[in-house]
Amino acid sequence: MSDPIALVVVDAQRAFRLWEAAGKRRNNPDALDRIADLLALFRRTGQPIFHIRHENRSPGSSFHPDAEGYVVEEAAHEQGDEPVIVKGVNSSFIGTDLEARLRAAGIRRVAICGATTNHCVETTTRMAGNLGFDAVLVEDACWCFDLDGPDGRRHSAEDVQAMTLANLSGEFADIATAETMRVQLGSAD
């Protein structure tokens, strides 16, 4: 059997849909479909899957466990005994047992997707690379929002995403798409 690769799905929760409904502009409108494709691919090929959820217990947070935003998107719901790991900061590796679980399972490769590209996904990917995992960012299965800099300059979601890819590529991770992952995992379907 070839070296296993784990899919890490970061924060595919309804909060971002609510932000969008409230007027925030995002990129990659089909990203949840690509996450669904990846989940189907990893299930079909028997590769491990880790679902990450963001939780923030501050009153009024979109990610409060009692809030609608905390609920996982239907397309990204866990199945069977797939592990769900709850985090409280951007990195999926801080305050969680994700690293310990990956090492215990002998997993050295991770494919990362979810939201938002530049915050939780990018921080998780930087740490994955620096912790010694072979990391892949699946670019069309991630999304982010327009972002205002401290200088007042507005960066489009597309530019934000492009810079995340430029910063990560070759330094922390390889960049893939859901389709190149399908080819890489050799799935006939």
Please report, as ranges, the residues that interact with a copy of itself according to CB under 8 A: 89-91, 94, 118-119, 122-123, 126-127, 129-131, 147-151, 153, 155, 159-160, 162-163, 165-167, 169-172, 175
Provide the minimum distance between the beta carbon of 81 and a copy of itself in the complex, in angstroms, as a whole number. 28
Rounded Cα distance, 38 and 5, in Å = 12
**Contact of 88 with 26, CB cutoff 8 Å:** no
For the chain, the residue count is 189
- DSSP 3-state assignment of 89? coil
For the bound state, the minimum distance from the C-beta of residue 162 to a copy of itself, rounded and expressed in Å, comes to 6
Kindly tell me which of 72 and 131 has the beta carbon lying closer to a copy of itself: 131
The residue (of 34 and 119) whose beta carbon lies closer to a copy of itself is: 119
Q: Residue 26 Cβ, how far from a copy of itself at the closest point, in Å?
A: 16
Question: Closer to a copy of itself at the Cβ: 126 or 182?
Answer: 126
Other CB atoms within 10 Å distance of the CB of residue 21: 9
* Sequence-distant (≥ 6) Cβ neighbours of residue 156 within 8 angstroms: 25, 27, 146
In the bound state with a copy of itself, the residue whose beta carbon lies nearer, of 83 and 88, is 88
Q: Give the nearest distance from C-beta 99 to a copy of itself in angstroms.
A: 11
The overall longest dimension of the chain from CA atoms, in Å, is 52
> One-letter amino acid identity for 96?
T
The least CB distance from residue 148 to a copy of itself, in Å, is 7
Q: Where are the beta strands (DSSP E) in the chain?
A: 5-10, 49-54, 84-87, 109-115, 134-143, 147-148, 154-155, 174-176
